[in-house]
């Protein structure tokens, strides 16, 4: 009888929530569509930067004043293009997309005298794309400087190695998957929010909404045990949250095709395997968050009041994953005990292709179970006590 009551409540609440088409559509748009969209935009930006990097062109104002430099650039197979008039203004407005190298009038004569001529790299911090090009131009000029210095030393009979006290070489230890994860950090955040927003409306409607409609009192006058009612409601809310989260996970699969850049799509590894791993990680969180939302909303007299209270939960869940960003020490052991933070960290590991040992999964599972159980017990107690308006 009690099991049947749980099932009856679950089926009704699920049906009710899924018929709320307008709310569902809004949630789908905000939680499911935004992730891939952001991904596609970032992909376009990175693709653009890459294209410029491959182009090997440099904008120079006054190249005719520096034949030596022009010669060097030509030998490095760089194409020199004259800077457009009014480039400063274009840079300020973020329209140019590349820094501009300015050659002084006395370049050649200063070089001949052995004095360092001043080369200006004009860029603007507000032009993100030009910022990326700055490093390349600097490296190019460093090469020119080194060549000139080596020539001068050679003329004086000194070995060029005398200038090179140390040699610096970079070696990036992160493999392709780990580098891709940096960019894919966005994905866990969007998926977390999808769970929350999916569960939010259903949770408020089934508690505060029920009270506001005046249907809570008749419901409590049926012989169905109160824990069965709470359990059925919770299961339905968690199912809706999980459904939205699953859709959000799957939405990143086609999102990958939108990535224009080849390197990006090679780095951003998000396939069926990752989507499934995400879903498994999110399942306990969907349960715990649904229970928490029910607990927050159960005492509220109206939907509006409940929405205000639920804002705290929404804020916590969106801020918690940022702890890893601000914390200089990186991931800590205790992070795995905090719901939302743990899932965000574990999803990050899935994206890096790192293994997920049981020892790391259990704390988050235990924490979610505990939080969920406490919240549900609270909801059942409130229902038992203050059923009446």
Partner 1 sequence: MIAVDGLRKRFVQGRGRGARVVQALDGLCFEAVDGRITGLLGPNGAGKTTALRIAAGLIAPDGGRVSVDGVDVGSAPRAALARMGVLSDSRGLYPRLTARENIVYYGALHGMDAAQADARARALATMLGMEPLLDRRTEGFSQGERMKTALARALVHDPPNIVLDEPTNGLDVVSTRALRETLRRLRDEAGKCIVFSTHIMQEVERLCDTVVVVSQGRVAAAGTVAELAVQGGGADFEESFVRLAFPEAAR
Which residues contact partner 1 (rule: CB under 8 A)?
Answer: 1, 4-5, 8-9, 12, 15-16, 19-20, 210, 213-225, 387-389
Q: What's the closest the beta carbon of residue 290 comes to partner 1, in angstroms? A: 19
CB-neighbour burial class of residue 151 (10 A; exposed 0-12, middle 13-18, buried 19+): exposed
Q: What's the closest the beta carbon of residue 243 comes to partner 1, in angstroms? A: 17
Query: Which of 39/380 has CB closer to partner 1?
Result: 380
- Cβ atoms 293, 200 nearer than 8 A: yes
Which residues make Cβ contacts (< 8 Å) with residue 76, sequence separation at least 6? Answer: 56, 140, 143
Q: What's the closest the beta carbon of residue 4 comes to partner 1, in angstroms? A: 6
Query: Which of 280/384 has CB closer to partner 1?
Result: 384
Q: What share of the chain is helix, strand, coil (3-state, %, to 5)?
A: 75, 5, 25
Q: What is the DSSP letter of 28?
A: I
> How far apart, in Å, are the Cα atoms of 192 and each of 10, 206, 310, 318?
23, 22, 16, 8
* Alpha-carbon span 278 to 256, nearest angstrom: 16
CB-neighbour burial class of residue 168 (10 A; exposed 0-12, middle 13-18, buried 19+): exposed
Q: What's the closest the beta carbon of residue 240 comes to partner 1, in angstroms? A: 14
Q: What's the closest the beta carbon of residue 269 comes to partner 1, in angstroms? A: 41
Q: Which two tokens stand for residue 28?
A: 């789908």
Query: Which of 9/140 has CB closer to partner 1?
Result: 9
Q: What's the closest the beta carbon of residue 207 comes to partner 1, in angstroms? A: 13
Query: Which of 19/333 has CB closer to partner 1?
Result: 19
* Alpha-carbon span 275 to 75, nearest angstrom: 49
Query: Which of 216/286 has CB closer to partner 1?
Result: 216
Query: Which of 94/225 has CB closer to partner 1?
Result: 225
Q: What's the closest the beta carbon of residue 9 comes to partner 1, in angstroms? A: 7
Query: Which of 65/226 has CB closer to partner 1?
Result: 226
Between strands 120-122 and 57-61, the pairing is unpaired
């Amino acid at each position: 009888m009690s099991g049947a009551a749980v099932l009856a409540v679950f089926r009704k609440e699920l049906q009710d929530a899924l018929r709320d088409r307008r709310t569902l559509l809004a949630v789908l748009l905000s939680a499911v569509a935004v992730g891939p969209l952001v991904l596609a935009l970032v992909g376009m930006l990175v693709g653009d930067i890459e294209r410029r990097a491959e182009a090997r062109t440099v904008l120079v104002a006054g190249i005719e004043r520096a034949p030596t430099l022009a010669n060097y650039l030509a030998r490095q197979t760089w194409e020199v293009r004259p800077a457009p008039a009014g480039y400063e203004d274009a840079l300020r407005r973020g329209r140019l997309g590349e820094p501009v190298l300015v050659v002084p009038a006395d370049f050649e004569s200063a070089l001949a005298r052995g004095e360092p001529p001043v080369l200006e790299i004009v860029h603007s911090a507000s032009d993100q794309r030009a910022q990326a090009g700055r490093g390349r131009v600097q490296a190019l000029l460093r090469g020119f400087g080194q060549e000139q210095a080596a020539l001068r030393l050679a003329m004086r009979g000194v070995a060029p190695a005398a200038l090179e006290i140390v040699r610096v070489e970079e070696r990036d230890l992160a493999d392709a998957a780990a580098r891709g994860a940096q960019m894919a950090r966005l994905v866990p955040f969007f998926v977390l929010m999808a769970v929350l927003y999916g569960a939010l409306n259903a949770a408020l409607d089934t508690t505060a909404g029920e009270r506001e409609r005046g249907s809570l009192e008749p419901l409590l006058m049926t012989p169905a045990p109160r824990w069965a009612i709470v359990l059925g409601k919770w299961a339905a809310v968690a199912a809706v949250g999980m459904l939205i989260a699953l859709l959000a996970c799957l939405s990143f699969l086609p999102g990958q095709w939108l990535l224009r850049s080849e390197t990006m799509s090679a780095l951003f590894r998000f396939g069926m395997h990752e989507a499934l791993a995400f879903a498994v990680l999110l399942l306990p969180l969907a349960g715990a968050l649904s229970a928490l939302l029910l607990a927050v909303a159960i005492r509220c007299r109206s939907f509006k009041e409940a929405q205000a209270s639920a804002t705290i939960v929404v804020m916590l869940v969106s801020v918690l994953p940022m702890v890893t960003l601000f914390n200089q020490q990186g991931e800590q052991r205790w992070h795995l005990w905090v719901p939302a933070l743990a899932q965000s960290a574990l999803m990050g590991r899935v994206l890096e292709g790192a293994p997920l040992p049981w020892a790391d999964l259990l704390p988050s599972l235990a924490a979610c179970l505990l939080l969920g159980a406490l919240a549900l017990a609270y909801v059942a107690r409130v229902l038992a006590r203050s059923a009446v308006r």
